[in-house]
């Protein structure tokens, strides 16, 4: 069982200016979601950051909400929180795979996302993983987002958009 394993945890990043993080949670399993959110908030605040919180109906809506927010707001990063418990149908695989894949795709586009969507066999596993004073997967997801934000700030300014940018020589020619 993973709870018996020792894991290396990176030091908390520090920031010259505060970070602003959006926590997107599906409260489908409310008690689990509340624990995940508690852990995420505490980690963001410990790094000197601020957070906002929105709720969506289910895990599949989390990546869509993050994508909308990225287009229409100004958050430095995102924390995706929720819980998917295996049931009697293949819906579990669809929700787990598609929500994870969508978050990965957003991350590959440059968004700083910590994925704290639990995928478990039963509620006992969810409870152990979610507790803020236990495995604290909500805090871990927030820490992941903070580390990605730190990398983004280390390597340059925030840039929106993708595409062709003419060389500086082209700007000079255009102004002549």
Q: Please give the pLDDT value at position 138.
A: 98
Q: Is residue 165 part of a domain?
A: no
Average pLDDT over residues 111-117: 98
Using the 8-state DSSP alphabet, how is residue 57 labeled?
Answer: S
**Helices assigned H by DSSP within 6-29:** none
Contact 113, 99 (CB under 8 A): no
Look up the pTM and report it: 0.86
Q: Is residue 62 part of a domain?
A: yes
Q: Is residue 169 part of a domain?
A: no
Q: Is residue 9 part of a domain?
A: no
Q: Please give the pLDDT value at position 10.
A: 94
Q: Please give the pLDDT value at position 1.
A: 45
Higher-confidence residue of 1 and 22: namely 22
Q: Is residue 172 part of a domain?
A: no
Q: Is the pLDDT of residue 166 over 60?
A: no
| Average pLDDT over the chain, rounded to an integer | 90
Domain count, the chain: 1
Question: Is residue 7 annotated as a catalytic residue, yes or no?
Answer: no
Query: Which helix (DSSP H) or strand (DSSP E) does residue 123 occupy?
Result: helix 123-130
Q: Please give the pLDDT value at position 98.
A: 97
CATH number at residue 34: 3.40.50.960
Catalytic residue among 10, 68, 91, 94: 91
SS3 call for 6:
coil
Contact residues for 90 (Cβ-Cβ < 8 A; gap 6+): none
In terms of residue numbers, what domain contains 35? 16-158
Among the ranges given (2-6, 34-38, 111-115), the one the predictor scored with the smallest mean pLDDT: 2-6
pLDDT digits (tens, 9 = 90+) for 26-68: 999 999 999 999 999 999 999 999 999 999 999 999 999 999 9
CA pair distance 66, 78, nearest whole angstrom: 7
CA pair distance 120, 129, nearest whole angstrom: 9
Q: Is residue 10 part of a domain?
A: no
């Amino acid at each position: 069982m993973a709870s018996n394993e020792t894991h290396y945890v990176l030091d908390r990043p520090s920031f010259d200016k505060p970070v602003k993080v959006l926590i997107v949670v599906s409260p489908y399993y409310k008690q689990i979601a509340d624990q995940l959110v508690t852990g995420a908030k505490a980690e963001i605040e410990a790094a000197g950051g601020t957070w906002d919180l929105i709720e969506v109906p289910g895990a599949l809506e989390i990546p869509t909400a993050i994508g909308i927010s990225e287009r229409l707001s100004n958050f430095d990063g995102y924390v995706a929180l929720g819980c998917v418990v295996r049931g009697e149908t293949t819906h579990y695989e669809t929700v787990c795979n598609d929500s994870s894949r969508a978050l990965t795709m957003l991350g590959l586009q440059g968004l700083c996302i910590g994925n704290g969507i639990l995928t478990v066999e039963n509620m006992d596993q969810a409870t152990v993983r979610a507790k803020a004073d236990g495995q604290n997967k909500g805090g871990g997801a927030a820490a992941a987002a903070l580390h990605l934000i730190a990398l983004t700030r280390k390597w340059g300014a925030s840039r929106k958009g993708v595409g062709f940018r003419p060389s500086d020589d082209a700007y000079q020619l255009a102004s002549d």
